[in-house]
Copies of this chain bind each other. A is one copy, B any other.
Amino acid sequence: MEWNGTVTAVAETARAGESPRQGERTRRRILARAADIASVEGLEGLTIGRLAADLNCSKSGLFAHFGSKEELQLATVVYASEQFKSKVLAPSHAVPRGRARLEALLDTWMRHIESDGFPGGCFFAAAAHEFDGRPGPVRDRLATAMKWWFETLRDEFRHAQQIGEFRAEVDAVQITFKIHAMAMEANWGCQMYKDPVWFLRGRQGIQEFLNQAAA
C-alpha cells in the first residue's frame, strides 16, 4: 500500500513534468507492478485502465509513459527480461565457468521462480502459454527471451564439456531440454498445488541429469 502510494505520487509528478531520470524511475516502478500483475493474471489483462486503477493513479499519467496496451505489454516483457538478467545471470559471473557456473545459474533460477521473482511464479512461463497462439511482437519478444535463456544454459553446459567436466558424447541440447523441463514442471506444479515439494523434485531431477553426464 505504502509502496503503491509512492508509485502514485511519482506517476502524478510525471504529468507535471519530471526530469528524464525521474521519468525513468517512475517508468520502472510502474513496470514492476505491471510484471507482478501479469505473472498472476496474464499480460492480456494488463490494460492501462487496469494498471491505473491498481496504482490508484490517472490513466493519462500512464499514457504519458505507454501509448497503448501493446506498448505496455512489450515494455513489461523487456522489464521482466532485465530483472531476469540482473537477478539470475549477473550473480553467476562471480562463479568460475563450467559446471559450477551452470549449477549457480540453475540454483538462482529456481529460487527466482519459486520465491524471489514475481508473485505468480515464472513470468515467462505464464506469458508464453498465454501468447503462443497470438502472433505479434509480444509473442516474438517472449520467444526470443526464452530462447536466449535456453541457449545460455546449453552454452554453459558445452563449455563444461570442453573443459572435461561432462562427457563429450552427451547431447547438450537434449540435456538442456530435460533441465529446462524440470524448472518449468516445478513452476507449474507449485503454482497449481501451492506445494514447494515440486521444486524439490525439480532440483533432484537436475542433479540426477548432471551427475549422469559427469565425466
Contact = CB atoms under 8 A, between A and B. Distances in A.
A137 B174 CA distance: 38
A60 to B, nearest CB: 27
Interface of A is mostly: helix
A41 interface: yes
Interface residues of A, number: 40
B133 A120 contact: yes
A205 interface: yes
Contacts of A53: none
A184 B177 contact: no
B188 A174 contact: no
A131 to B, nearest CB: 9
Interface string A164-178: 000000000110011
B201 A174 contact: yes
A45 B177 CA distance: 31
B182 A184 contact: no
A67 B68 CA distance: 34
B177 A133 contact: no
**Which of A120, A129, A192 has the most CB atoms of chain B within a 10 A radius of its CB?**
A129
A7 to B, nearest CB: 21
A177 B126 CA distance: 19
Contacts of A128: 188, 191-192
Closest 7 CB pairs of A and B: A181-B185, A40-B133, A129-B129, A132-B191, A181-B181, A120-B133, A177-B201
Interface of A: 39-42, 44-45, 119-121, 125-126, 128-130, 132-134, 142-143, 146-147, 173-174, 177-178, 180-182, 184-185, 188-189, 191-193, 198, 201-202, 204-205
